[in-house]
Amino acid sequence: MTVDLSAADALALRMMSLLLRPHPSTRPGTVAEVVEWFGAMQAQDLASGLWSLGARLPGRGVADVQAALERREALRTWPMRGTVHLVPPADARWMLELTGVRSLAGVATRRAQLGLTEADADRAVDVLGAALAGGGRLTRAQCLATLRAAGLGTDGQRGYHLLWFASVRGVTCVAPNIGTEQTFALLDEWAPASHRPERDEALALLAHRYVRGHGPVTDREFAGWSGLTLTDARRGLAAADDALSTVRVDGTPMYVDAALADAPRTAPDDVLALPGFDEYLLGFRDRTLMLDPAHQAAVVPGNNGIFQATVVRAGRVVGVWKRKIGRTAVTVTIQPLTTLDVAARARVEQALGRYADFLGLPARFDWLS
């Protein structure tokens, strides 16, 4: 039987799926468990990725999350849509083979624009693989210097393209920073115990993780998030059917994790401070459930794919924020997008205070209006 849900009910379930409200069947308590829950988490901006984890692991500080990444509880690579995500190490390879390779479709055109050849790209993979062998770990600058020493151009966007290509090919991955510098390592050495499901099993696994970490969602949302064709997205959802339930949200059929089918749907009143690059918004193409279209320009200025950090109240975006980290405090500038009374502002500052606690710094607040 398909259950009818209001938009408010759907939002309450979605917040549980996204681990931003207590979930009735799980309570992930480690970085590894949170990342495995989602399957993949946006992490093109490292600071945002760290707080995405911290927001779902109350009481953990940034040093705790960084230490977990050093323990290889998760790693960063380009598993889908040409975008960096945090993924479980054991799943990195099959995700690259299932979805990451789809970003290679236009690679010949892009190489030609950059003045690179297929031989250049293959040579870069070999050079980086040899340089990192034996447990090596190189900063981005060192990787680029290694490529230049091998006669490969890295000016402009060439260097980024070659580093990306080596990771999508499953040779390298992004390791934790050394100081402020991004580093790279061999995927085989950072994820030696790789899970290798058959293709249909992989489709089902990815579909289930997306639904349980984002639902209620449609098949088109899954296709958009994963970069799969709609046909493959539907195939994965069908294969994961036993773990899913269907609901109707304002008449639209959607999928939700079966564990949430009978969950209490109390209206959310939570106030959250989320990073810009978080699954809460970036995990969906249709964001109208959480974001008023009138506020789109404030959250994504210039519609350029750069998302501002958001203040969320009762599941809806009500403001954006920026932080400036100093030696003795973090200064947070808040721009409300809706009217917030004194009590609401106090709750916003409390939510942002949790972010300051994550950094281990006191917070100072500056309201723009």
Identify the helix (H) or strand (E) that includes residue 171: none
Q: How far apart are CA 202 and CA 253, in angstroms?
A: 24
With beta carbons less than 8 A apart as the criterion, state whether 161 and 110 touch: yes
Burial class (CB in 10 A: 0-12, 13-18, 19+), 358: buried
Confidence of residue 1 (pLDDT cuts 50, 70, 90): low
Fill in the amino acid letter for 59.
G
Domain range summary for the chain, segments of one domain joined by +: 31-190, 271-367
More confident residue, 27 or 184: 184
Q: How far apart are CA 243 and CA 259, in angstroms?
A: 8
Tens-place pLDDT, residues 29-66: 999 999 999 999 999 999 999 999 999 999 999 999 99
Fill in the amino acid letter for 308.
Q
The DSSP bridge partners found for residue 131 are none
CA angle 195, 201, 202 (to 5 degrees): 60
pTM of the model: 0.95
Per the rule left: phi > 0, alpha: psi between -120 and 50, beta: everything else, 135 is left
Tens-place pLDDT, residues 121-165: 999 999 999 999 998 899 999 999 999 999 999 999 999 999 999
Tens-place pLDDT, residues 52-102: 999 999 999 999 999 999 999 999 999 999 999 999 999 999 999 999 999
